[in-house]
Chain A
Amino acid sequence: MLILENIMLAFHGLKANKMRALLTMLGIIIGIASVIAIMSVGHSISTSVTSSMEDMGVNNITLGLKQKSSQEEVTSDGRRFAGISMGEQMSEEDYLTEEMLDTFRESFGDRIAGILLNEVAGSGTARKSNLTANVMVTGVNDAYLQNENLALLGGRTFTKRDQADKRRVVLVSDRLVSSLLDGKTDQAIGKEIEVYINNRYYTYTIVGVYEYDDSVFSMESEEDVATTVYLPLEAAREQNHSTTGYSQLTLVTAGVEDTSAFCEELESWFNSRYYGNNKSYEVSAVSLEAMVSSMTEMLSTISIAISVIAGISLLVGGIGVMNIMLVSITERTREIGTRKALGATNGSIRLQFIMESIVICLLGGFIGIVSGLALSVAATNFLGYAASPSTTGIVFSVIFSILIGVFFGYYPANKAAKMNPIEALRYE
């Protein structure tokens, strides 16, 4: 007997008993919907996190100072970089110096495209007449500025003289221009703005305007988002009264294939040369690529773990299907007997009931996929990510629904197939 006819037969059966069919499918629907929702949300988060991290450059390596492990009492990721959080005050000799970097450039020049240095001057409020805007002032070197990939709308970037003379000239965003200077880019060049940082007013001259990139994920609301004001590195260092060294910097690699091996090479180069005698600190190198991959790995592990839990509801749903199939077979004993008398083989009876169970599970699966996707779109919108449904999840769900149908349908179907036609015909 043809498969198609069995499918039609199964649909007839479901139509005759809509409420029961829906209740039977409910377990499957809930199970599949939660698996799809979880996997899609996980997929959406990891896709947008990965892409925004890739924008920052996967080839970048962050070089930082960390406390030597023998002195560390608490180990956590937050304490890995000296620049981020540190219990012990760093002293002059701990920092990475210009001298070190020069030697480093000589040794690794062919594999390093640039050393990105920056110095955060602080966050504050920019002011022009009676208008204000939130800003974050950061001092950058040329390599850093280049890596930011800014689209310049007017004016110029920093010159060598700006850097060398520690001039207080700045690049500002078009957002800042529109909130402080009526959005006229060409008129903004050369204007002075006052920025209030750490209880002091600083005056900067605008030399360039860049286009604000609002695709970068931000936790702040749209109106009062703080845009970056770029300052020449040395000017910022002077303003901060910084010492001569750096606690953290970013390297842009060139032609390095195995970044994690390169990180190890960098660590041993710095530590054997400069930090062997340092009691408290050593250099640590982490590639963004490694961070991205460990992050996606973590996310997918979490979503798989939650999916497995959701999978338990699929198991329960499957048992529900089996239960209803057993009931249905008992109810239809006479039908089975009749079919056998009319020439149905055991195999065709078995096929009929397995198909019925598969149809129930697949139908439940489809409803589950649709509601799961709807749920995930709602959830990702709420969290502020772009929805990106997980194809693997959908394919997995369809296959899994069929498998549940076969697995939980086989026993009842086999029971039906093995019925004695005489007894089945006489069943009241």
Chain B
Amino acid sequence: MEKIIELKGIIKRFYINQPNELEILHGIDLTVEKGEFVSIVGASGSGKTTLMNIIGVLDRPTEGVYYLDGINVAGARDRELSGIRNQKIGFVFQTYNLISRTSALRNVELPMMYAGVGKKERLERAKHYLEMVEMEDRMSHKPDELSGGQKQRVAIARAMSNNPSIILADEPTGALDSHTGRRIMDIFHRLNQEEGKTIVLITHSKELAEETGRIVTLRDGEIIGERMGKGC
């Protein structure tokens, strides 16, 4: 199997060389293979978010190496990191983070706009992914006119639009009721099985983690356990 994410000895410190220096991650080793559906679980304060930021290339590790789809991320510059986020990673946030002034369609087009995809192709692809999440009949609606679940489906379409290597979902069902959350999880399973997408799900819910292929448990900045889930 091909390794998509390869973290080796990742250490993250904040306030370096200051009296309040703080080490959040104490040397994480984690490998995710192509097509895997991995969940990272842990209580708040366990370093989940920091790890997600590093996997999502929003932040650089203080020490350690990180290969994302064969690219050494630790040595990349800001501009290159933007390109990596744009091309390799699809973010799904707990709070959706759709841009409220523009339509669902425009939101899905956004990553392709930054990638420099032409107008026609952008529109085609955006429509395709909105159809995939069953939002094609609401694509001209603004986020304010959509329910939470609908917003999250648009956000998933947006995450898919540049056909990234991984989908990074941070508590995607955290703000949704269980029924709607179920639908979102079903979409992730479909993306994983039908499209072969690698998905990294960050959650504090043991229940949701159980349905993924592999569960990585984080506590106090260290991986304390890894086991297979039911979705394997």
Contacts and interface: CB of A to CB of B under 8 A. Distances in A.
Interface stretch (B65-73, B86-94, B130-138): B86-94
Closest 9 CB pairs between A and B?
A343-B86, A338-B97, A345-B82, A343-B114, A342-B111, A343-B85, A16-B101, A421-B58, A341-B91
30 contacts: A1-B113, A1-B116, A12-B101, A12-B102, A13-B101, A334-B97, A335-B99, A338-B98, A339-B99, A340-B82, A340-B85, A341-B58, A342-B86, A342-B91, A342-B110, A342-B111, A342-B114, A342-B158, A343-B82, A343-B85, A344-B86, A345-B82, A345-B83, A345-B114, A346-B78, A346-B79, A347-B79, A348-B114, A422-B59, A425-B97
A5 interface: yes
Contacts of A337: 97
B53 interface: yes
A341 B56 contact: yes
B20 to A, nearest CB: 17
Interface of B: 53, 56, 58-59, 78-79, 82-83, 85-87, 91, 93, 97-102, 110-111, 113-116, 158, 162
Contacts of A338: 93, 97-99
Given A1-B116, A335-B99, A343 B111 contact: yes
Interface string A24-54: 0000000000000000000000000000000
A342 B101 contact: no
A49 to B, nearest CB: 53
A344 B53 contact: no
Contacts of B113: 1-2, 5
Interface string A1-19: 1100100010011001000
Given A12-B102, A16-B101, A422-B59, A343 B53 contact: no
Interface in A268-314: none
A335 B98 CA distance: 8
Interface in A325-359: 334-335, 337-348
B91 A422 contact: no
Given A337-B97, A341-B56, A343-B115, 8 more contacts: A338-B93, A339-B114, A341-B91, A342-B85, A343-B82, A344-B86, A345-B82, A346-B79
A345 B79 contact: yes
A294 B173 CA distance: 79
A13 B102 CA distance: 9
Nearest to B82: A345
Contacts of A1: 113-114, 116
A20 to B, nearest CB: 13
B51 to A, nearest CB: 12
A55 to B, nearest CB: 59
A346 B79 CA distance: 8
A347 B83 CA distance: 12
B26 to A, nearest CB: 20
A9 B99 CA distance: 11
Contacts of A334: 97
Interface in A152-196: none
B110 A339 contact: yes
A12 B78 CA distance: 29
Nearest to A16: B101
A291 to B, nearest CB: 60
Contacts of A13: 101
B197 to A, nearest CB: 17
Interface in A397-425: 421-422, 425
A422 B53 contact: yes
A71 to B, nearest CB: 79
Contacts of B83: 343, 345
A229 B114 CA distance: 80
Contact of A341 (B78, B85, B100, B116): B85
A348 B83 CA distance: 12
A422 B58 contact: yes
A343 to B, nearest CB: 2
Contacts of A342: 85-86, 91, 110-111, 114, 158
A344 B82 contact: yes
A372 to B, nearest CB: 32
Contacts of B110: 339, 342
Contacts of A345: 78-79, 82-83, 114
Nearest to B79: A345
A425 B86 CA distance: 16
A169 B173 CA distance: 108
Nearest to B155: A338
Nearest to B84: A343
B141 to A, nearest CB: 15
Nearest to B102: A12
Nearest to A344: B114
Contacts of B53: 422
Contact of B93 (A5, A9, A425): A425
Contacts of A335: 99-100
A107 B56 CA distance: 96
B13 to A, nearest CB: 15
Nearest to B118: A2
A347 B116 CA distance: 14
Interface in A32-88: none
B226 to A, nearest CB: 26
B122 to A, nearest CB: 10
A422 B111 CA distance: 18
Contacts of A5: 113
A263 B147 CA distance: 87
Contacts of A344: 82, 86, 114
A50 B177 CA distance: 80
A335 B110 CA distance: 12
A421 B162 CA distance: 20
